[in-house]
Structure 1
């Protein structure tokens, strides 16, 4: 019986890969910790008046290793993907698979913004060609006809909803995308949630 040797990327790698594939990841080295976007009301400092002040510019997209961490209020998406809370030493991380993880990669402010930037490489005249380009860039493999059909149907459904008046409100985006870019962002986010994107052999 074949053994599945695939392993999900670590919490830090998942965030960094999303930023890297979108072209947002900063290669800036060294310096103090940064505070990337996170949902409002999560970070609390009980014993002081400290607050989570979201970093701006290049610091917003620095590698996960530079993310400011506090034991009493760890970065939520890292904890969801099994990063240690740093309260005790951890020899090996436990790898879980929960619905909360999908909610993070679909809704955490980092990921819709990364999906929007990633979708720009799919913005070509032929939608199917654009989706194929995006899939290949994300997974380093060619898309098969079944997956292409599923993602094209997702694009068509999103376009129909946006054209019928559905609000194009993506968390983390400062500008309102066109209907086509909004639909491509939905597809890009779906690609970034595929097992092929979140695991390594």
Structure 2
């Protein structure tokens, strides 16, 4: 008999749970379903059952399945931001140079993408299908100005540099997943690509 991955139980029997908290629980349940079974397995009925709410409640909390999947994408992206900014803050507290911070950023992004990237991709593909459009979410992280400032990137080049970094990083991660590169080589290439963008001078 094939093994069916176990989806964690997010049931919330308390009817007084605030709507925002219940919405967050539904999103988290959807991410776990996508992780175990793929994004196409996510439905409003499934997340309602997983969290112990009725289907009408789930439909009141989200405009549509596409809305739920969009919030799931943002949930995964928020995880990236937490991991990356945490790694940078710890390195900065140790007095890391800008070049060292770039290495920390590259390693943290690649490592987290290798763990969470497949979930993001399957959720994004399901949302695209649900909306019948060929469109992905693209939002610079809220911490983008902080990241750019830590690396010393001038304000007039921050957006372009960060967009280029994310694009290069995602493609290098895809190469690792395909077996074309190993993880360390991908990180080294990412650092080599963007080290010339750092201003002269050792530390922030």
| Greater Rg by CA | 2
Structure 1 length normalisation: TM-score?
0.30
Structure 2 length normalisation: TM-score?
0.29
Q: Which has the higher helix share?
A: 2
